[in-house]
Chain A
Amino acid sequence: MAQIDTSPPAVVQPPARSGAGRFLLVFAPLAALLLIGVPLFLGGMPYWLNVVTNACLLSFGSLGVWLTFSIGRVNIAQGAFALIGGYTVGLLTTALGLSFWVALPLAGLFAAVIGFVIGWPLLRLRGIYFAMVTLSLTEAVRLVFLNIGNLGGAGSVTNIPTPPGIASPMDFYLFAAVLLLVGYAGIWRLQESRIGGVFRSMRQNEELAASIGIDVALYRAMAFTICCFMGGIAGGAFASLQQNVYPQTYTVSDSINFMLYCFLGGLEFVLGPIVGTFALVIAFELLRAIQEYQALLYGILMIVVMLFLPNGLLSLRRLLGGRE
């Protein structure tokens, strides 16, 4: 209806690449880099291997945060769910003697259940209100674990055994890298499917989404629950890597970092949170050499990125003449 007199905009679409093709275009180089490149170059540098292992686990958590961004919520609670996952793995493996490989999925599930129960009412909030509440949630969870400790319970868990079958830092790194690749594939698949379309529609207009029969409350709880699951897995694996977990293992600043990783990498692409996490974690390590200026440089770096690359590092591609 109402075709006004402007001639229709000429639309020249590039030939659509098949879904699998577009997936492999990013996934194959990523897998090669993580599974071949990193072991080759960092094999003899245990310190850096540890940094990259941590970056893989943090990236896995950021992927979840990215998913809540895709429904239009700024989520600063991922630290809380990583902490819940860390304690779950810690307590199940030490107190109950469960295998890490059983405890880790349980950590994810436990974080997901808590995320669902808390998320259902909280997700009615939008914008800055949701961000503020999730921020306080991180602190609340930290305080819960701190007070359990003060009451004589297990405030911290130490001597968490290394996962059976993982004998060296390299083994652990490979496990983290595979976990990240699986996470990437899963989230990519999700956002390419019609569920991803529903998530994006909700970000753009929840009322319109409801008017065409989308159960907005259910779908946003789904996105948040998946996010919390991934946070729990990341935190659980990290606790096992460190062999301990404290209330301050994940604090408010970690939750904020999870969000910054997504911003920095770019919210348009599933690869964004991974690029952002690696860039920030590695930058942080490099800046460690100049201790007292670390925070200053870190801050300047963030401001520069926000100013010149508001769509994240991956938008560099466009400046460099990439497609789109």
Chain B
Amino acid sequence: MELFGIFFAAFLINNILLIRFIALCSFFGVSTKIDTSIGMSFAVVFVMTISSAISWIIYHFVLTPFHLEFLRTATFILTIASLVQLEELYLKKVIPNLYRAMGIYLPLITTNCAILAVAFLAIDYKFNFMQSMVYSLGVSAGYSLAIILFAYIRDRMVLAKIPKWFQGYPIAFITAALMSLAFLGFTGLFGL
């Protein structure tokens, strides 16, 4: 039950894109096409789960015993950067289909702050290993939901009549505001 709560809190109530405002660059950058946003979502689910597991292990078994907690920022970012490269090599060799589906989004993920944020948040919330895995799954599912919905809306917007000054990014922000308003409605769901 507790794990269920963590998942839904991360998935809907504290949606990482629309409520917590993390990883917005990719939210506006890759959501112009539906295909690219699906590719990015796959890459995020994959990388976020693995990197939050590895960074949890590093924090609790390497940094804490040696009292090096102050190095966590530098350690995590380097871990994630090298992990992404390793995963790229592994996927290319073992699951080439998945590798092709993710395309260029895999290397781009190094700069996606959601990955780093989840590693920090799992530690700030004092999650154990199982909880932090469920949390990162919830966050990445929430990321995928928001970005794919947004891509579909932007797709429809091509046909809409938009005031001249609002074309491009301004209307995208207003759309995101309305989506964010809808997600705010999940507050209090399941008594969380």
Q: Do A and B bind each other?
A: no
Name A's B-contacting residues (CB within 8 A). Answer: none
